[in-house]
Amino acid sequence: MQTSSQIQTSSVPVTVFTGFLGSGKTTIILSLLPRVPKGYKLCLLKNEFGDIKVDSSLAQSSDLAVQEMLNGCLCCVLVGQMKLALIELKDKYNPDRIIIETSGSAFPAPIAWQIREMKNEGFTLDSIITVVDCINFRGYEDTSYTAKMQAQYTDIILLNKHELVSEHELDTVIDHINELNTDTPKIKCEGKNGVSPDLIFGIDTKLFDLAAKFSELIDPKISNHHQNEIDLIQIIMSRQPYSLISPFTKKNFEAFLESLSNNDIYRLKGFIWLTQEHNKEEASQLYIVNHAFGRYTLTPIQRSLNSCDDEPILIKITIMGMDLKMHLQQIKAGLCINDEQITLHLADHN
């Protein structure tokens, strides 16, 4: 791999990561950082539902430059904006490689096609990588058309969380994937170590060649698919000015997360201020909450509550899933929110 210290005369390779909500794309991407050669510069263009820049905060402690595109999907609503974002990353950071992490319900063809069109701007589509959540794949493959497309049109399928299922269940998942895509290599991730960059960089994909017309790559089923497949709840609660104590304890919030439906609630992510149970007089701590299909992490961020740079926000969370209207009262009660603090976008599942 050529380092950024060398004179770059070739195009910047672009690796596209797809995979359904909560499959573990961000974790795998971040795990690549310590495994690339010293001086090898990676940039991440991250696409996300809602308007919460969670992953930029997660990457602050790394050397990864992150740019997030919010409130839409790169394969349809934001496809025209991706070109400008890639050029900005290239001009600003002069990277050795750009990684695109799509939203959880993105079809790769329009993204790949636009990257191929940017050859004269100095970009090359290297590979399309699909991350499969071995715990939950069989649950969402029947409800998400684009999840099937992600598994079908890819250079490599990464089997994530395979160590958390039985050998029989893993064989069943692979059988289901093989029904969609027999020939594509399927690689087991190495737990938190993700996967070696040597396995996924330098593929030089032939998928979605420009010989195909853009119109031929667009299936009518993916038109506004992010609105048709996924329900979305956005929650914002402001804190009292200069208040150092959050009404939410870490213990109670964890109990709320554990009470959520694993079947209908695919993803919950955002920020929340929490107070420790044992000492409610201490100033609260800001956490990144990352919840997927019943598994979650709470990552503390080292910021003081009275910092002048912080938004006056107590909770800022996005919840994604199916039939979320059924869980609305539970969510309101668990987070002590009212109608003014919640925005509900229901998908048309027809």
Which CATH number do you get for residue 270?
3.30.1220.10
Which residues, in sequence order, are CB contacts of 272 under 8 Å at separation 6+? 246, 248, 253, 286, 287, 289, 314, 315, 316, 317
Q: Quick: pLDDT tens for 46-100.
A: 877 655 566 556 555 566 778 776 555 555 555 567 888 899 899 999 999 999 9
The pLDDT value recorded for residue 4 is 46
Same domain, 228 and 298: yes
Torsion angle of C-alpha atoms 319, 322, 327, 328, degrees rounded to 10: 60
* Share above pLDDT 90 across residues of the chain, in percent, rounded to a whole number: 38
**Same-domain status, 308 and 159:** no
Q: What is the extent of the structural domain holding 93?
A: 12-202
For the residues 310-318, what does the mean pLDDT come to? 80
DSSP secondary structure string for all residues of 181-204? -SSS-EEE--GGG---HHHHSS--
Do 192 and 46 lie in one domain? The reply is: yes
Question: What does the alpha-carbon distance between residue 17 and residue 119 come to, in Å, rounded to a whole number?
Answer: 20
For residue range 102-150, what is the model confidence (pLDDT) as tens digits? 887 777 888 888 898 899 999 999 999 999 999 988 877 666 777 888 8
Number of structural domains, the chain? 2
- Span 10-22, mean pLDDT? 90
Side-chain-facing half-sphere of 118: CA atoms under 13 Å: 26
Does 209 map to a domain?
no
Whether residues 182 and 228 fall in one domain: no
Residue 122 forms part of a structural domain? yes
pLDDT at 202 over 90: yes
The number of residues making up the chain comes to: 350
Give the CA radius of gyration of the chain. 20
Asked if 17 contacts 30 with a C-beta cutoff of 8 angstroms, the reply is no
- 10 Å CB burial of residue 293 (0-12, 13-18, 19+) is buried
123-127, 259-263, 278-282, 295-299, range with the lowest pLDDT: 278-282
Residue 15 pLDDT exceeds 60: yes
- Same-domain status, 113 and 179: yes
Same domain, 45 and 139: yes
On whether residue 49 sits in a domain, the answer given is yes
Mean pLDDT of the region 248-252: 90
Residue 309 has pLDDT above 60, yes or no: no
Sheet of strand 231-238, all strands in order from the earlier edge strand to the far edge:
295-301, 285-292, 265-274, 313-321, 231-238, 342-345
* Distance separating alpha carbons of residues 229 and 233, to the nearest angstrom: 14
Residue 259 three-state SS: helix
